[in-house]
Homo-oligomer: A and B are copies of this chain.
Amino acid sequence: MKTFDTIDELRAWVGGEKRRGLSVAFVPTMGALHGGHRACIEKAAELGDVVVVSIFVNPTQFGPGEDLDKYPATLDKDLELCRNLGVAAVFVPETREMYTTNQNVWVEVEGLTSPLCGRSRPGHFRGVATVVAKLFNIVAPDTAVFGQKDAQQAVVINEMVTRLNLPVRVALAPTIREPDGLALSSRNGYLGDADRQRAASIYQALLAGRDAISRGDRTAKTIIEAVQTRLATGGIDDVEYVELVTADTLEPIDRVEGRVLLGVAVRIGTTRLIDNVVLTVAADGGVTEAMLF
């Protein structure tokens, strides 16, 4: 497995692989890899001849007071996981390689970035879209894989790719969960034992929302209340949002129909956690979990 810390060396290597006729599948990450990243890398291996992983904690997607300085770093373990999964190359740039001066050029995705996490994290998706555009231009992948757990990020990036005609196919890997349902996240490591136990209620609350829909409820307000009630029962009282939006355009809905995203963000102690389920409601009323795209 190759590791590169400069753009020029990575580009030269990718160019060589492409000249050999190999397709490139790319998984951008911020490191602290877990089973969710593993699912992305495995998906990438299905979709491309060679897999490139980037590990870069992108400062422009963190707001003031967020956890940039304490974001977990486990580089040796990350590289070992990549090696075990057959990754061909890992790109691990320093911040100064990615941002040579104060960044003054931004990719802005309008509309999609205002609901859900966009409300409490102004500038977050601008930072995400910009660094992903930069990484796509550096790696020049045929395919890139993101995790559905960061659903809004996936929709924003897919929109960016479409509207800027980026020659990249965006694919998704499903959310991977602990046995008790907690979605894997690099931030789960921040949780102490009691908070970790409470965190299991996030997914249970999403399932309570799903159950309400399965029982025939179509009113967003009462479905959201079912989620909120289950969060409260689980001892989670700092709820940033519980929202029901369309799965394609992330527009808030009053009634559930077709494919919808039920998303949650909560704070447990000082740790902010998000999760979601994408649900398809069939004409016969059947409810199944689905992928965003």
Contact = CB atoms under 8 A, between A and B. Distances in A.
A11 B162 CA distance: 15
Contacts of A164: 105, 107, 130, 133-134, 137
A110 B105 CA distance: 6
A84 interface: no
Contacts of A137: 164-167
A111 interface: yes
A105 B160 contact: yes
Among A104, A112, A159: residue with most chain B CB under 10 A: A104
Contacts of A110: 104-106
Interface in A67-125: 100, 103-112
A97 to B, nearest CB: 10
Given A140-B167, A165-B137, A107 B107 contact: yes
User: Interface of chain A, helix or strand or loop or mixed?
Assistant: mixed
A49 to B, nearest CB: 16
Among A105, A112, A163: residue with most chain B CB under 10 A: A105
Contacts of A138: 165
A160 B106 CA distance: 9
Nearest to A166: B137
Contact of A159 (B104, B108, B160): B104
A239 interface: no
A140 B165 CA distance: 11
A291 interface: no
A290 to B, nearest CB: 23
A30 interface: no
Contacts of A253: none
A7 interface: yes
A170 to B, nearest CB: 14
A52 to B, nearest CB: 15
Contact of A108 (B105, B112, B134, B160): B105
Interface in A184-226: none
A8 to B, nearest CB: 11
28 contacts: A7-B165, A100-B162, A103-B163, A104-B110, A104-B111, A104-B112, A105-B107, A105-B108, A105-B109, A105-B110, A105-B129, A105-B159, A105-B160, A105-B164, A106-B107, A106-B108, A106-B110, A107-B107, A107-B108, A107-B164, A108-B108, A130-B164, A133-B164, A134-B165, A137-B164, A137-B165, A137-B167, A138-B165
